[in-house]
Each structure stands twice: as C-alpha cells, then as structure tokens.
C-alpha cells in the first residue's frame, strides 16, 4: 500500500492541489477526536515515531506529539542538547541509529534549509518536515489552509496577504505554494528589505503599505519578525516597524470588509501585531492551533499507508 502523499512530507511545493485537498479532507473528521473525553483512536498502534527538533518549538512539537499520541503511536522526543548531536554526531548518523531501533517515522525541525530532504533521501523511515531553515513548514501551511477553508468554504478567489518578514519565513513559502495551488489570490506586504527579491515570480502581488494590503485582502497572515535570523539592518527599529507595518485595530477598523487575521506564532505583540487584534474578533489564531493537531493526525495517517509495517495499523481507520 503506497501513501497518496509519497514516502515523505517535505513541503507543499511538490504536492498537487488534489494531494493538499486530500490532507484537508482527511483532517476535517479527525478534529472530532480531540473533542472526546478519551482522545484516542488505535489507528497508529504499533508505530514508533521520533520527534527530532534541532530548533525551539512550542506549537509544532506539542501538536505533533498530541497527534501521535491521540492515534496511539509510540513517540520519543529527542532533546538535541542532551543527545549525541552535542558531541558532534551527524544528522544522518543520529537518524540511522534511531532506525536501528526500528522506528517508522521521523518528524524533523532543523535550522538548515534542505535538512528534511537530506535526511529523507538517506533513511527508509517516513520523514515529515516540521520546518527547515527558511525553506518550508508544510504542516503549518496545511493548518493555515484548513483554517481559511473552514471560514470561507473555499479558497478559490479568496485574497490572502502574507505580511511582514517574508524573507526569513518558511511559513510564507508553504502558504504561497498551498494557497496558489488551491486557487487563492496571494499577496505579500512588508519592507522591501524583508521581501525576497524575486518574490513576484512565485505569482504573488506585492504591497509596500499595510493599508493597501488591508484594503485588498480577505485575510492577513501576519508573520513574526524573526529577529534571531536577522544579522543587522533589516529594519530601523521595532517601534518604527510597528508604526509603519503593524497590524493595529485602527488600521483594521478602516478595512472595507470583514478580514480574518492569522498568525503562525509565536507572536511579537506590539511589533507585527497589536494585542487587541491578536485577541480580537477578527483573529483565528487559536483556531489555527486547534487545527494543527488534526492536520498532523491526517499527515501521519496518510503517510502511514506508505510504510509496510504501518499499513495494517492504518487500515483500522480513525
Ligand atoms: N508556528 C510554529 O512553528 O510555532 P513553533 O515554533 O512554536 O513550533
């Protein structure tokens, strides 16, 4: 039995619209499992999944762990600082040693773009990219798509603007691929210093002013300023950034239509987004987090079909 997604989930760039829709359609019914008193189904019983996070994470790591546990997989979290990586062991050696203990899947977050693919090409286990450098964060893109589809019914013709630090954002790339494949119109907005130079080639509009983006969009996906990835000189100051590009209540009040506000988290409150927007009626930020568990359950479920040892377990259904 082969997975409809292939062996690994490395990004949305190489998935078709049908494959993306399949993940979203699979996630919808799985949401209900997290609303039960006993949040557990036997679908992935017998599967062993390793969460290998080389970078900090709250939402993605916890969400994967909940998804794995709610589907009855055995999960192990590798704390990189306390692992042999800190003694100089390579990524591939770490993964091969884990495979020697008979694992089935690896969820990896890594600071280097391409790390997930590098690993996927060298081990037999399914690899899921939980964010690699500035490249892609496919499950974040999928949960954003699910949240928008739930609110809008369809993404066809909807206008979504990705705001802020697009240059350093793997979330932006996964969103652009996913949204355009599902028929949405996509724009980006931010200081030119934080937009990739050839961004128009991805088929997006570019706005230089946040007011233009708010006038145009049905939804804004507001990105975190990734201060830890910035060497220097991208913006004059955080205060100046908020003054010119911040998504504020006053700016939203001038929007010509109801507008949804997404943010992948973690937020810099008072920088890219003000608290009364993040916590206000337009915000679907916590819906994104809830949907993240269902999307990750769907990805695990679909990928399991590609692993001979997991195929039997997956047949049990949700
Ligand atoms: N959205 C996201 O990736 O958040 P974490 O860094 O907390 O996982």
Atom 6 in ligand 1: residue holding the nearest Cα:
57
pLDDT of residue 234: 85
Atom of ligand 1 nearest to the CA of 264: 1
Ligand 1 atom at minimum distance from 292 CA: 1
Q: Length of the chain, please?
A: 318
For 267-306, what is each residue's pLDDT tens digit? 999 999 999 999 999 999 999 999 999 999 999 999 998 5
pLDDT in tens, 135-147: 999 999 999 999 9
Mean pLDDT of the chain: 93
Alpha helices per DSSP H over the chain = 17-30, 59-70, 91-99, 115-120, 138-152, 170-181, 210-216, 238-245, 249-253, 275-278, 285-304, 308-315
> For residue range 6-38, what is the model confidence (pLDDT) as tens digits?
999 999 999 999 999 999 999 999 999 999 999
pLDDT at 233 over 90: no
Ligand 1 site, residue 58, Cβ cutoff 6 A: yes
Backbone angles phi, psi at 233, to 5 degrees: 80, 15
User: Does ligand 1 come within 6 angstroms of the Cβ of 131?
Assistant: yes
Helix, strand or coil for residue 169?
coil
Tell whether ligand 1 has an atom less than 6 A from the beta carbon of residue 178.
no
Instruction: Give the position, in ligand 1's atom list, of the atom nearest the Cα of 140.
Output: 1
Nearest CA to ligand 1 atom 4: 59
Is residue 147 within 8 A of residue 288, CB to CB? The reply is: yes
State the pTM of this model.
0.94
């Amino acid at each position: 039995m082969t997975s409809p997604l292939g062996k690994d989930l490395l990004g949305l760039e190489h998935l078709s619209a049908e494959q993306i829709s399949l993940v979203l359609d699979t996630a919808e019914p799985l949401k209900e499992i997290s609303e039960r008193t006993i949040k557990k189904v036997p679908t992935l019983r017998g599967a062993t999944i390793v969460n290998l996070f080389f970078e900090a994470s709250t939402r993605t790591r916890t969400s994967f762990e909940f998804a794995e546990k709610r589907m009855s997989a055995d999960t192990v979290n590798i704390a990189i600082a306390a692992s042999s990586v800190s003694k100089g062991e390579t990524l591939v050696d770490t993964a091969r040693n884990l495979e020697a203990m008979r694992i089935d899947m690896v969820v990896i977050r890594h600071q280097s773009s391409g790390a997930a693919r590098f690993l996927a090409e060298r081990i037999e286990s399914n690899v899921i990219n939980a964010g690699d450098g500035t490249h892609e964060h496919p499950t974040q893109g999928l949960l954003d798509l699910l949240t928008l589809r739930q609110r809008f019914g369809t993404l066809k013709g909807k206008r979504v603007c990705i705001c802020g630090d697009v240059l350093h954002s793997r979330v932006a790339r996964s969103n652009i691929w996913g949204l355009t494949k599902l028929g949405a119109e996509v724009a980006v907005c931010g200081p030119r210093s934080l937009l990739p130079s050839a961004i128009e080639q991805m088929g997006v509009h570019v706005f230089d002013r946040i007011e233009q983006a708010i006038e145009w969009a049905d939804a804004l996906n507001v990105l975190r300023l990734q201060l830890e990835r910035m060497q220097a000189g991208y913006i004059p100051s955080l205060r100046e950034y908020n003054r010119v590009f911040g998504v504020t209540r006053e700016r939203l009040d001038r929007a010509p239509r109801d507008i949804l506000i997404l943010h992948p988290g973690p937020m810099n409150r008072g920088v890219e987004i003000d608290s009364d927007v993040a916590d206000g009626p337009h915000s679907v930020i916590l819906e994104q987090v809830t949907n993240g568990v269902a999307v990750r359950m769907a990805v695990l479920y679909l990928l399991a079909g590609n692993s001979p040892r997991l195929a039997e377990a997956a047949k049990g259904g949700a």
